[in-house]
């Protein structure tokens, strides 16, 4: 393989992105750099004296490899900066631990009423609360105010009996007459117990076990004393 072909092949790998791909490209670059120099040296030693390779071609080969090297190093730098920014964000969010966050997320039910915030569509004249269990099956449907807003969900099934403790997905279907305008998840409040970094994103672990993105938090408040 010609030296320029090695450089061009590495360019394709380096351009793929950062993270594991960039690390792989860096490893490939390091392992092939000596091969590149050996082949370039051999090419210079064995060129036809009557038809020598133009100096501009050697310059192009060196420039191509240098470009690839810089691209891989840039990818590594950007990856490192992204990780540092994520850690900075997580450090700032440590102050959220212990506070109650309002997020659109599955609801952890443990027998006590759960405070929800309903979001309905503009123009809705009818709204229905739809509750699904962990398997996706509907365990409760009930009418709720078409205007949305604060709502206390008591965790009762279709038979009027309390549902089992667990996590439930709750949404509101908005209607105008017989036409459904859309379905929207409800927001609920839960205490933040941990902030963690996952794939460069700051995630929050809630008291009920839900894991949500920090950017999805709609509001924060001090927990009620008691």
pLDDT digits (tens, 9 = 90+) for 95-120: 788 889 999 999 999 999 999 999 99
CA 23 to chain centre: 21
List 220's β-bridge partners, or say none. Answer: 101
- Which range among 29-43, 74-88, 113-127, 172-186 shows the weakest confidence by mean pLDDT? 74-88
Question: Tokens in use for 95?
Answer: 């102050």
Q: In the prediction, which pLDDT does 196 show?
A: 84
List 167's β-bridge partners, or say none. Answer: 108
What would the mean pLDDT of 175-190 be, rounded to a whole number?
95
On the 0-12 / 13-18 / 19+ scale of CB atoms within 10 A, 185 is: middle
Q: In the prediction, which pLDDT does 37 show?
A: 67
Question: In the predicted model, is pLDDT for residue 170 greater than 80?
Answer: yes
Question: In the predicted model, is pLDDT for residue 36 greater than 70?
Answer: no
Q: In the prediction, which pLDDT does 38 show?
A: 73
Q: What is the pLDDT of residues 207-216, one digit of tens each?
A: 999 999 888 9
Q: Is 123 helix (H, G, I), strand (E, B) or coil?
A: coil
Q: How many CB atoms lie within 10 A of CB 187?
A: 21
Q: In the prediction, which pLDDT does 85 show?
A: 45
List 176's β-bridge partners, or say none. Answer: 179
Q: What is the DSSP letter of 186?
A: P
Q: In the prediction, which pLDDT does 54 show?
A: 60
Confidence of residue 195 (pLDDT cuts 50, 70, 90): confident
Does the model's pTM come out above 0.75? Answer: no
Helix axes 20-45 and 3-14, enclosed angle (nearest 10): 170
Q: What is the pLDDT of residues 114-164, one digit of tens each?
A: 999 999 999 999 999 999 999 999 999 999 999 999 999 999 988 889 999
Q: In the prediction, which pLDDT does 160 show?
A: 86
Dihedral sign for Cα 135, 136, 141, 147, please.
Answer: positive
Interatomic CA distance for residues 140 and 119, integer angstroms: 18
């Amino acid at each position: 393989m010609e030296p320029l072909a090695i450089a061009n092949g590495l360019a394709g790998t380096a351009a793929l992105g950062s993270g594991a791909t960039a690390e792989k490209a860096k490893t490939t670059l390091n392992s092939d750099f000596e091969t590149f120099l050996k082949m370039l040296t051999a090419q210079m030693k064995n060129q036809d004296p009557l038809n020598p390779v133009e100096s501009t071609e050697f310059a192009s080969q060196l420039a191509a490899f240098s470009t690839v090297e810089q691209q891989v190093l840039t990818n590594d730098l950007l990856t490192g900066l992204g990780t540092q920014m994520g850690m900075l964000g997580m450090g700032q969010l440590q102050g959220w631990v212990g506070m109650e966050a309002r997020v659109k997320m599955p609801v952890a039910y443990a027998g006590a009423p759960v405070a929800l915030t309903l979001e309905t569509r503009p123009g809705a004249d009818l709204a229905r609360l739809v509750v699904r269990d962990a398997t996706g099956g509907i365990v409760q449907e009930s009418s709720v105010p078409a205007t949305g807003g604060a709502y206390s969900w008591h965790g009762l099934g279709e038979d009027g009996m309390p549902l089992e403790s667990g996590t439930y997905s709750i949404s509101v279907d908005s209607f105008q007459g017989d036409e459904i305008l859309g379905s929207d998840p409800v927001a609920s409040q839960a205490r933040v117990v941990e902030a963690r970094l996952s794939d460069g994103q700051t995630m929050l672990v809630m008291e009920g076990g839900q894991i949500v993105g920090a950017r999805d938090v709609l509001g924060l408040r001090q927990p009620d004393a008691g």
